[in-house]
A and B are shown apart, each in its own frame.
Chain A
Amino acid sequence: MLSSTIQIETKNLNVYFDKHYVLKDVNIKIPAKQLTAIIGPSGCGKTTLLKSFNRLLEIHDEVKISGNIFVDGQDIFDSKGDEIPDIRKKMGLISQKPYPLPMSIYENVAYGLKIHRKKTKKGELDAAIQHYLQEVGLWNEVKDRLHDPASRLSVGQQQRLCLARAIAVEPEVILCDEPTSALDPIAAQQIEKLLLKLKQNYTVVLVTHTLRQAKRLADYVIFLYFGMVIEQGPAEDVFNNPKNPATIAYIKGDIS
C-alpha cells in the first residue's frame, strides 16, 4: 500500500491528560518524504498526536503515555532523558501561532546551528543563514534588517522564519500544527507552496482542520475522531472512497 519507506510508526499509542483519555490505541504509519495530513474535528487529539512524535508532550507533568512510537525504526521511548534533545532535533515543529525566539532575525536562524555546534565560523554562519532564509523565501524581505528583532516581522513572515529556524537544524521531519490558521490568505498560500517544496527533502506531517487544505496538499491522510484513528491511507482513497461512515460524514461536511 505504501510505496515509500516508513518514517514514523505508532503501535497502540495511548495518551492521557490526568484522567482525560485523549489518544486511544493509535496505530499509524507515516511515509517518508511525503506530506501526511492529520485531519479531524477540533479537540479530537491532532495536536496531541503531533507532539507525541518528538516527545514534546512530556513537558507537561500531567501527561501519561503508553505504547510505542518508532522513528526510523527506533523506539523513541527507549532513549533516556538526556537523549530527548536529539530526538526532538530530528523534527522541526511549526505551531499554530508562530513563536520566534526573543532575539534578532539572524539569531533566530543561528540559534539551532549554535546550540548544536554545526557552524561556528562567522562566514559559514552568515552563508548558512542566507541559505535557510532563501529556502523559505524570506531573504529578500529581511536581508537589510537581519539584526532587527524577530518580533517586528508580520505573522506570516514570523511563520516562515520559524520554518527557516527549524530546517537550519537539519531535521528529517517537519511537524506542522495548523500552520496557516493564524495567517491571511496570501501568507497562507506562501506556506502551502513551501510545504509542497519541502516534502521533496523532508517528511512533512501537517495537522489541519480545513479539509480543502488537506485535499490540496496531502499524499497520505489520517482521519482522527475522538482520539481514535478512523481511517488512514493515500489521499485519493480517503477522499474519494472513504469507508467509514464517520469519515464520509466528515468529508461531506456533516461533522466539523
Chain B
Amino acid sequence: MDVLNRRTVEEKIFKLFMIVSICIVIGSLVIIFGLVIINGASSISIEMITQTPTPGNALGGGILNAIIGSLLLALPATGLACIIGIGIALYLQKEFSHPGFANFIRFTLDVLWGIPSIVYGIFCLMIMIALGMGSSLLVGIFALTLLEIPIITRYMDEAIKMVPIGLKESAFSLGSTKFETAIRIVRRQAFPGILAGILLGLGRGIGDAASILFTAGFSNRIPTSLFDSTAALPTMIFNLYSLPSGQPKAYAAAFILLVVVLLISIISRVLSKRFMKHVIR
C-alpha cells in the first residue's frame, strides 16, 4: 500500500515537472510574440516592408533596406557555407580521411560552433582593417559564412554518416560506381538532414546581430554594391531601439524578423517532410 502510494506520488510529481517545463517553453514563445506585437502595433504597417527610412528622419518610412540587407547577407553566406561545408563533410567520411583526423576536425567544428558570434565579428573586423577595407556587405557575408560553416557542416556530416552501410552495398551490388552511389543514393538518403542543417544555418545567419554589427556596418539605403555598408534586421532593431521614441518601430522590426525566422522554420518542416518519405530506415 505504502509502496503503491509512493509510486503514484512519484508519477504525479514527474508529470507536473514535464507540464511546467513545456509551459515555460510555449509560454515564452507566446509572451515574446505578444510583447512584440503589443509594443510594435502602432508602427506595424505596410510601409514598414515597402519603404526605406525617410532621409533625415530615421523614424519615418519603413525598413525595406534592412529586410533586403538581411537577405543579401544571409543568402550568399548560406550558399558559401554550403559549398565549403559539403567539401568538409565529404572529406570527413571514412572513404576519404583517417578516422582519427576526421574526429579532430569534428571536434574543431564543434568548438567553432560554440564561439560567440561577436568573436567572429571582431575577427573579421581585424582582417578588414588589415586589408584597408571598410564595413561592407562583402565583409558581412564573410562573417556570417564563418558563423554558419560549423552548423551546416556538422549537420551534413551527421546526415551522410548515418546512411546505412547496407544501402551503399545495395547500390554497389547493382553495379553503381562510387560517384553514382554518392550522387544518386547517399545524397537522397542524407538530404533531409542536410536540408535541416542548411535552414538552421540560414536562421542563425538571419537572426545574428553581433557578427555583422561592425562588419556590415549600417546604412539607411539599400546597398547597390558589395562594398556598400548595409543594415540588416537585427542591426536595424538595435539602431531603432537606441533612438529616442524609436521603440515602437524597433518592435515592429522585431516582429518582421520573427515572422521571417518562423517562415524559415515552417519551410524547413514542410520540405523535410517531403524528402523524408523516401528515406530508408
Bound CA span A188–B279, Å: 25
Which residue from B169, B172, B176, B278 sits with its C-beta under 8 Å from A149? B278
Given contacts A104-B278, A115-B180, contact A93 B175 (CB under 8 A): no
Query: Are A91 and B280 in contact, CB atoms less than 8 angstroms apart?
Result: no
CB distance from A94 to the nearest CB of B (A): 9
CB distance from B185 to the nearest CB of A (A): 6
- Give the chain A neighbours of B169 by CB distance below 8 A: 51, 56, 59, 93, 95, 99
Most B C-beta atoms less than 10 A away, residue of A95, A111, A165, A175: A111
Query: Are B170 and A93 in contact, CB atoms less than 8 angstroms apart?
Result: yes
> Of residues 226 to 281 in B, which have CB atoms within 8 Å of A's CB atoms?
277-281
Bound CA span A56–B173, Å: 7
- Give the chain A neighbours of B185 by CB distance below 8 A: 101-102
Query: Are A99 and B170 in contact, CB atoms less than 8 angstroms apart?
Result: yes
Query: Are A95 and B170 in contact, CB atoms less than 8 angstroms apart?
Result: yes
Query: Are A86 and B175 in contact, CB atoms less than 8 angstroms apart?
Result: yes
Interface contact tally, CB-CB below 8 A: 82
Which residue from B171, B174, B184, B278 sits with its C-beta under 8 Å from A151? B278
- Say yes or no: is A89 at the interface (Cβ < 8 Å to chain B): yes
Given contacts A56-B169, A93-B170, A95-B170, contact A115 B281 (CB under 8 A): no
**Per-residue 0/1 for B178-197: is the Cβ within 8 Å of any A Cβ (1 yes, 0 no)?**
00100011001100000000
- Give the chain B neighbours of A104 by CB distance below 8 A: 278
- Give the chain B neighbours of A93 by CB distance below 8 A: 169-170, 173
Name the residue on B nearest A60 (C-beta): B165
- Give the chain B neighbours of A95 by CB distance below 8 A: 166, 169-170
Which residue from B173, B174, B278, B280 sits with its C-beta under 8 Å from A115? B174
- Say yes or no: is B21 at the interface (Cβ < 8 Å to chain A): no
- Say yes or no: is B94 at the interface (Cβ < 8 Å to chain A): yes
- B interface bracket (residues with beta carbon within 8 Å of A): 20 to 34
Bound CA span A88–B279, Å: 24
The secondary-structure label for the interface of chain B is helix
- Say yes or no: is A31 at the interface (Cβ < 8 Å to chain B): no
Query: Are A116 and B173 in contact, CB atoms less than 8 angstroms apart?
Result: no
CB distance from A210 to the nearest CB of B (A): 21
Name the residue on A nearest B165 (C-beta): A59
Query: Are B279 and A102 in contact, CB atoms less than 8 angstroms apart?
Result: yes
> Of residues 61 to 120 in A, which have CB atoms within 8 Å of B's CB atoms?
61, 82, 85-86, 88-89, 91-93, 95, 97, 99-104, 111-112, 115-116
Bound CA span A112–B189, Å: 18
Query: Are A111 and B166 in contact, CB atoms less than 8 angstroms apart?
Result: no
Which 9 A-B pairs have CB atoms at the shortest separation, nearest pair first?
Answer: A89-B175, A93-B173, A102-B278, A102-B188, A99-B170, A85-B175, A99-B166, A102-B189, A99-B167
15 examples of A-B residue contacts, CB within 8 angstroms:
A51-B169, A54-B173, A85-B172, A89-B175, A93-B169, A97-B166, A100-B170, A101-B188, A102-B279, A115-B174, A115-B180, A115-B184, A151-B280, A162-B170, A175-B173
